[in-house]
Amino acid sequence: MTAPTDWPYPRWVAHRGAGKLAPENTLAAFRQGAALGYRAFECDVKLSADGVPFLLHDATLQRTTSATGNAGERPWNELSQLDAGSWHGRQFAGEPLPTLAGVAAFIQRNGLALNIEIKPTPGQEAVTGHVVAEHVARLWTGLAVPPLLSSFRPESLRAARAAAPQLPRALLIDTLWTGWFEMAASLGCVAVVTNHQLMDAALLARVHEAGWRAMVYTVNEPADAQRLLALGIDGLITDAVDRFAPAAD
């Protein structure tokens, strides 16, 4: 079996928006990436204490917001008041944490594609997968290209599949752990997203022979990008949005 031909996602994907040039996982970062010509974006989504899907990578708040503590323990009305921009630069002071709904509006208005990493608060793997998938299915109703849902946590992908089986899923892997291939198959994945250092010709062939697509993270050096493009990689997630021209898709 060869890789699927009906792959609607651009090859170059901006990591956490344009998360090195602007505060990661904020609309400011998405605007920056779009201004540089990117048409596909990756972001991290977790749940507030009252079940609102919003963008944040870490389990805790202190690295990228004005608060401290576990993000998943706070209700959205508190999270929505936080400053998620000042840590990156004074020009971003007051930039808020975005909801998934807010990002969906930006993506759809601008005709962009999205890869959502389901990033659960520890212990919330299944409920996060379920709620995120439900929201994505509703927010992208009737649109031709829904987001690709990815996660390192099989429990999250399993719950997402139960909630919205029509949405495409991808297993994230940072090592080739025993059973990863069988897990991706059992979850009905359409893609595998690996650490770029894992990807070689043999792994790419195995993924394509399964009928899946192969994506890699986080590709920031030109030599790595050239090697992977020569292999025939399907997607490269990058922080270096100002170094790589997405028109090279």
Assess if residue 159 is contained within a domain.
Answer: yes
Contact 229, 201 (CB under 8 A): no
What are 184-199's pLDDT values in tens digits?
Answer: 999 999 999 999 999 9
| Residues 96, 90: Cα–Cα separation, whole Å | 14
Confidence of residue 28 (pLDDT cuts 50, 70, 90): very high
Assess if residue 82 is contained within a domain.
Answer: yes
CATH code of the domain covering residue 173: 3.20.20.190
What are 2-17's pLDDT values in tens digits?
Answer: 444 589 999 999 999 9
In 3-state terms, what secondary structure has residue 186?
Answer: helix
Assess if residue 1 is contained within a domain.
Answer: no
Cα(first)–Cα(last) distance of the chain, in Å? 24
Q: What is the pTM of this model?
A: 0.97
Assess if residue 176 is contained within a domain.
Answer: yes
Domains held by the chain: number: 1
Token pair recorded at residue 30: 């998405």
Least confident span in 3-12, 51-60, 181-190, 223-232:
3-12
Question: Which residues have a catalytic role annotated?
Answer: 15, 57
Assess if residue 177 is contained within a domain.
Answer: yes
Assess if residue 6 is contained within a domain.
Answer: no
Assess if residue 3 is contained within a domain.
Answer: no
Assess if residue 4 is contained within a domain.
Answer: no
The pairing of beta strand 191-195 with beta strand 213-217: parallel
Quick one: average pLDDT of 141-145?
A: 97
Nearest Cα neighbor of 205 from 231, 184, 167, 227 is: 231
Show the domain range for 218: 12-248
What pLDDT does 247 receive? 62
CA-CA-CA-CA torsion sign (62, 68, 70, 72)? negative
Confidence check: pLDDT of 232 > 60: yes
| Residues 229, 111: Cα–Cα separation, whole Å | 25
